[in-house]
């Protein structure tokens, strides 16, 4: 299979086949972060940068008990908030992003997290990845979340040909049905943790190896 000569129609067919196989391989795939509202998901997603979802889920119950609203986060002394989220890493930048986003939500959106991509992108610390997570899981609007797993694996699969997350999002949404977008992101994340591991991919046991040009290359080098 030659990535550079594959037609868009062929790539669509291959993308759907990959999706179907991964959906069977990882049943029940979904968001791992725990949340009860759009604001809680916003905060959790900010904390999840360079941190595992499991770690974030140990932090957020106490965090949301202490600071249940955007107003409470904004009123909290910054040093206190930093201590509360310290174990997530990069705690100073994350505390700043949470406080600034809280201020914007209060000042511009009446204390409620907005429900459009355009409005979400005006919030400090919110990019398309975070916005798509919130829109998909809180407002029922499909989006392709491009995290580190999706960025890496979509290129290995030949479904994307870029290192730019925005371009990858466009490439993937062009070859997959809208109703699969959010789920596909979760499937690639699970696949990246279980099989397509960055430092030691298990191509020999990969369920989509026959559809992956990178697996062909790896096998040819053996």
- Taking the CB of residue 116, how many other CB atoms lie within 10 A of it? 12
User: Pick the catalytic residue: 3, 53, 96, 147?
Assistant: 147
Q: Is 147 a catalytic residue?
A: yes
User: Pick the catalytic residue: 129, 141, 164, 166?
Assistant: 129
Residue corresponding to tokens 């600034």: 100
- Taking the CB of residue 177, how many other CB atoms lie within 10 A of it? 13
Q: Is 164 a catalytic residue?
A: no
Burial class (CB in 10 A: 0-12, 13-18, 19+), 192: buried
What dihedral angle (degrees, nearest 10) is formed by the CA atoms of 64, 51, 164, 11? -100
Polymer length in residues for the chain: 222
Q: Which residues are CB-neighbours of 122 under 8 A, at least 6 positions away?
A: 104, 108
- Separation CA 59–CA 90 (nearest Å): 14
Q: Active-site residues: which are they?
A: 129, 147
């Amino acid at each position: 299979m030659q990535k550079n000569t594959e037609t868009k129609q062929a790539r669509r067919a291959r993308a759907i086949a990959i999706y179907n196989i991964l959906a069977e391989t990882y049943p029940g795939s979904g968001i791992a972060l725990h949340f009860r509202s759009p604001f809680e998901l916003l905060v959790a997603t900010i904390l999840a940068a360079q941190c595992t979802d499991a770690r974030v889920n140990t932090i957020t119950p106490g965090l949301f008990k202490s600071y249940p609203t955007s107003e409470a986060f904004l009123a909290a002394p910054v040093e206190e908030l930093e201590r509360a989220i310290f174990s997530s890493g990069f705690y100073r930048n994350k505390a700043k992003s949470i406080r600034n986003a809280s201020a914007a939500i209060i000042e511009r959106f009446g204390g409620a997290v907005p429900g459009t991509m355009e409005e979400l992108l005006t919030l400090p610390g919110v990019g398309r990845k975070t916005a798509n997570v919130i829109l998909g899981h809180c407002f029922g609007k499909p989006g392709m979340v491009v995290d580190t797993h999706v960025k890496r694996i979509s290129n290995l699969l030949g479904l994307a040909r870029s290192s730019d997350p925005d371009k990858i999002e466009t490439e993937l949404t062009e070859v997959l049905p809208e109703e699969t977008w959010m789920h596909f992101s979760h499937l690639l994340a699970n696949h990246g943790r279980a099989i397509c591991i960055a430092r030691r991919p298990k191509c020999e046991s990969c369920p989509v190896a026959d559809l992956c040009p990178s697996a062909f290359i790896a096998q040819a080098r053996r």
